[in-house]
A and B are shown apart, each in its own frame.
Chain A
């Protein structure tokens, strides 16, 4: 009876904490730990219990990418952060392109589309959103850039050369040719600012002698929901921490086969008393190809699962804002949404 009770508790614990990958499907996908579902478990929301169990670990931080772990949070909220990072953190991007002269082969609208997708290094928190019907743009919501370039033939080029780099000047239009044109009092508002595209070497168009491009661009603040050019992340994704359990000891050749079934570094073979025994060294590295289910001898000896509340986030920024700032902004935006509805609840009387 005690053993049966322990086994039952292990079973419910597994149902609550782990998402199990079976041979033909995934089990225990939905969150079930709501009050009333499990007798004997305290499931009602308790801020203090949440704060004790919650932690954030920063795993790797590079120039434009951040990998961090969030432990103790539920899928709904982790997904909300991911969705906000992709679609609701604002950035500045080119919205209106005034074409004064475009004699290149790239059509006006294609050129405008390409210019819109170029990431602009400008902190969007310094700017406001443009008002709905406003066509002109004021200095607090618009950044103006100019791209004026003309291709000429190089008189010093050798007669037989066919290399365009030698024959022509300015035949490749890069994003470094975009120059900032301050509007109004922007030179006073941003004295040290250097507004330019994040990358200098984005190829916009190709020209030949006699062709020129003369455009003026207005950048506004927007969010990814409106147009994907405003998305500040190259991508933001998360995965759950893998949890591999060996249900029985696996030895010798089976251990070798097991090691090949998983990503390198996951399974380690130790030599215990002359026999080779497999051990799970680092489950985190695994990408879960489920190769082990193709081996009939091994598929019942391993349990593949994921820890339900341990999220490994990977945020890669396009360069406009560093990824840690992006995550902080995303959390603040979710708070702002809640605050907006709380304010409405308080102001509008409910009948």
Chain B
């Protein structure tokens, strides 16, 4: 992860060894944050596996905060999906199949 930007509000993170899998889902979670003015990602070159992930915030919020919140929210989503899926796999649920 590297970060560079003019002030703390607009930051471009360079994520190595990542592609659309994390990029698009993280972009969706960050966009759901009302403090974020702009969020996008791009793959600099298809031969290199790294993405440029840019966040611009409204007001004086440092851009690292929505990034962190997006990652935490995505973890929360995955955890809930995993729990729901595993509950459905239990024998008593399956008996209804």
Which A residues fall within an 8 A CB radius of B?
31, 34-36, 43-45, 47, 50-51, 54-58, 60-61, 68, 70, 73-74, 76-77, 79-80, 83-84, 87-88, 324, 327-328, 331-332, 334-335, 337-339, 341-342, 344-345, 348, 350-351
Asked whether any CB of chain A lies closer than 8 Å to the CB of B44, the reply is no
Contacts A61-B94, A328-B82 known; list 6 others, CB within 8 Å: A31-B28, A77-B25, A80-B22, A332-B78, A337-B21, A338-B72
Question: What is the minimal beta-carbon distance from B64 to any residue of chain A, in angstroms?
Answer: 6
Interface size on B, residues (CB 8 A): 41
Contacts of B25 in A (CB 8 A): 76-77, 79-80, 334
Which single member of B1, B27, B67, B86 contacts A348 (CB below 8 Å)? Answer: B1
CA A268 to CA B34, docked complex, whole Å:
46
Contacts of A77 in B (CB 8 A): 25, 28, 74, 77, 81
Whether A84 pairs with B21 at a CB distance below 8 angstroms is yes
Contacts of A74 in B (CB 8 A): 28
CA A119 to CA B67, docked complex, whole Å:
39
Question: What is the minimal beta-carbon distance from A60 to any residue of chain B, in angstroms?
Answer: 8
Whether B75 pairs with A83 at a CB distance below 8 angstroms is no
Asked whether any CB of chain A lies closer than 8 Å to the CB of B84, the reply is yes
CA A331 to CA B5, docked complex, whole Å:
32
Whether A51 pairs with B28 at a CB distance below 8 angstroms is no
Contacts of A31 in B (CB 8 A): 28
Question: What is the minimal beta-carbon distance from B96 to any residue of chain A, in angstroms?
Answer: 9
The number of A-B residue pairs with CB atoms under 8 Å apart is 117
Contacts of B67 in A (CB 8 A): 345
Question: What is the minimal beta-carbon distance from A209 to any residue of chain B, in angstroms?
Answer: 49
Render B1-35 as a binary contact track against A, CB cut-off 8 A, 1 for contact: 10100000000000100111110111111011110
Supposing A335-B78, A338-B78 touch, asked if A80 and B21 sit within 8 A by C-beta, the answer is: yes
CA A345 to CA B97, docked complex, whole Å:
44
Which single member of A76, A83, A350 contacts B27 (CB below 8 Å)? Answer: A76
Whether B82 pairs with A332 at a CB distance below 8 angstroms is yes
Question: What is the minimal beta-carbon distance from B37 to any residue of chain A, in angstroms?
Answer: 9
Contacts of A36 in B (CB 8 A): 34
CA A77 to CA B22, docked complex, whole Å:
9
Whether A331 pairs with B78 at a CB distance below 8 angstroms is yes
Contacts of B64 in A (CB 8 A): 345, 350
